[in-house]
Structure 1
Amino acid sequence: MKWSFKIAKVAGTEVRIHLTFFILLLLVAMQGMSGGQGTAGAVDALLFVSAAFLCVLLHEFGHVFAARGYGIHTPDITLLPIGGVARLERMPRKPSHEFVVAICGPLVNVAIAAAIKLALGLQMVMNPEYQFEQPGHFWEKLMLWNLIMVAFNMIPAFPMDGGRVLRAFLAMFTDYGRATRWAATLGQGIALTVALWMLFSREFHPVLLLISFFIFMAAGQEAAAVTQEEATRGLRVRDAMLTDFRTLPQDATLGDAVVLLLAGSQQDFPMLDERGNILGLVTRNRLVSALSENGPMHPAVHVLESCPDSLSPIISLGEGLERLRSITCPAMPVLDPVSRKLVGLLTAENVGEVLMVRAALRGRKET
Structure 2
Amino acid sequence: MKWSLNLGRIAGIKILVHWTFALLLGWVAFTESQRGSDLPTTLLAMGFIITVFFCVVLHELGHALTAQRYGISTKMITLLPIGGVASLERMPQDPKKELMIAVAGPAVNVVIAFILWLVLPSIGDSFSEEFFLRITPANFFYLLLFVNVVLVVFNAIPAFPMDGGRVLRALLAFKLGRVRATQIAANLGQFLAIIFVFIGFMYNPFLILIGAFVFFGAYSENILVQHLDYLRGHSVREGMMTNFVTLAPTETVREALNKLLMGSEHEFVIEEEGKVVGTLTRSQLIQAVKEEQMQLPVVEIMSADVKTFNVQDKLSDAYTELQKTRVPLYPVLENGRLAGVINTDNINEFIMIKSALTH
Q: What interval of TM-score do these two structures reach, taking the shorter chain for normalisation?
A: 0.7 to 0.9
Q: Deviations over 1:151-206 (max 9, x none)?
A: 2211111221011011011112101011001100011112224435666xxx3643
CA shift for structure 1 position 281: 4.0
In the other structure, the counterpart of 2:213 is 214
How many Å separate the matches in 2 of 1:29 and 1:152?
A: 25
Q: What whole-Å deviation, never above 9, does each CA across 1:122-149 have from its counterpart, x for those lacking one?
A: 455xxx8x94567142122112211221
Distance change >3 Å, CA 241–CA 261, structure 1 → 2: farther
Instruction: Kindly name which structure, 1 or 2, has the bigger radius of gyration based on alpha carbons.
Output: 1
The TM-score with structure 2 as length reference comes to 0.79
1:351 aligns with 2:340: no
What are the superposed Cα offsets for residues 326-361 of structure 1, whole Å, 9 maximum, x if unpaired?
Answer: 66775333356x74x533211333223333444456
Q: In the TM superposition, what are the counterparts of 1:92-171 in structure 2 within 5 Å? A: 92-120=92-120, 122-124=121-123, 131=126, 135=131, 136=134, 137-171=139-173
1:24 matches 2:24? yes
Number of residue-to-residue matches in the alignment: 344
8 Å CA contact 2:239–2:342 kept in 1: the answer is yes
Q: 1:268 to 1:88 in 2, by over 3 A?
A: closer
CA distance in 2, matches of 1:37, 1:268: 58
CA distance 1:33–1:268, change in 2 (3 Å) = closer
Please give the residue correspondences for 1:210-359 in structure 2 after superposition, counting only pairs within 5 Å. Answer: 210-249=209-248, 250-251=250-251, 269-272=268-271, 277-281=276-280, 306-307=302-303, 309-313=306-310, 314-325=312-323, 330-335=328-333, 339=336, 341-359=337-355
Shift of 1:54: 1.5
* Structure 1 residue ranges without an equivalent (≥5): none
Q: Secondary structure at the match of 2:160?
A: coil
CA RMSD of the aligned region, Å?
3.6
Is the Cα–Cα contact under 8 Å of residues 310 and 334 in structure 1 kept in the other structure? no
Distance verdict in 2 for CA 1:244–1:56, change over 3 Å:
same
CA contact (8 A) 1:77 1:84 kept: yes
Q: Tell me what 1:42 maps to.
A: 42
Partner of 1:187: 189
CA distance in 2, matches of 1:237, 1:277: 17
Report the secondary structure of 1:37's partner residue: coil
For the 8 Å contact 1:72–1:88, the answer to whether it is kept is yes
Q: CA deviation at 1:254?
A: 6.1
Cα contact 1:269–1:281 (8 A) shared by 2: yes
1:85 is the counterpart of 2:64:
no
Shift of 1:5: 3.6
C-alpha separation in 2, matches of 1:170 and 1:59: 24
| Per-residue deviation, 1:260 | 9.1
Q: Deviations over 1:69-100 (max 9, x none)?
A: 33333232222222111122222222222112
Are the structure 2 counterparts of residues 31 and 238 from structure 1 closer, same or farther at C-alpha, using a change threshold of 3 Å?
A: same
Q: 1:3·1:18 contact (CA, 8 Å) conserved in 2?
A: yes
- Consecutive unaligned residues in structure 2, runs of 5 or more: none
TM superposition score normalised by structure 1: 0.78
Greater mean alpha carbon deviation, residues 157-166 or residues 18-27: 18-27
CA displacement at 1:220 relative to structure 2: 0.3
Using the alignment, how far apart are the partners of 1:256 and 1:309 within structure 2?
A: 19
Deviations 1:97-123 (A, max 9, x none): 211211121122122223222333x45
Residue identity in the other structure for 1:186? L
Q: Residue 279 of structure 1: CA displacement?
A: 5.0
The SS at the match of 1:173 is helix
By how many angstroms is 1:277 displaced? Answer: 4.6
Percent of aligned positions with the same letter in both sequences? 37
Who is 2:74 aligned against?
74
Name the aligned partner's letter for residue 209 of structure 2: L
Partner of 1:15: 15
Comparing 223-232 with 245-254, which one deviates more in the overlay?
245-254
Conservation of the 8 A alpha-carbon contact between 1:187 and 1:219 = yes
CA distance in 2, matches of 1:198, 1:7: 31
Structure 1's 95 and 330: CA in aligned 2 closer, same or farther, altered over 3 A? closer
- What letter corresponds to residue 40 of structure 2 in structure 1? A
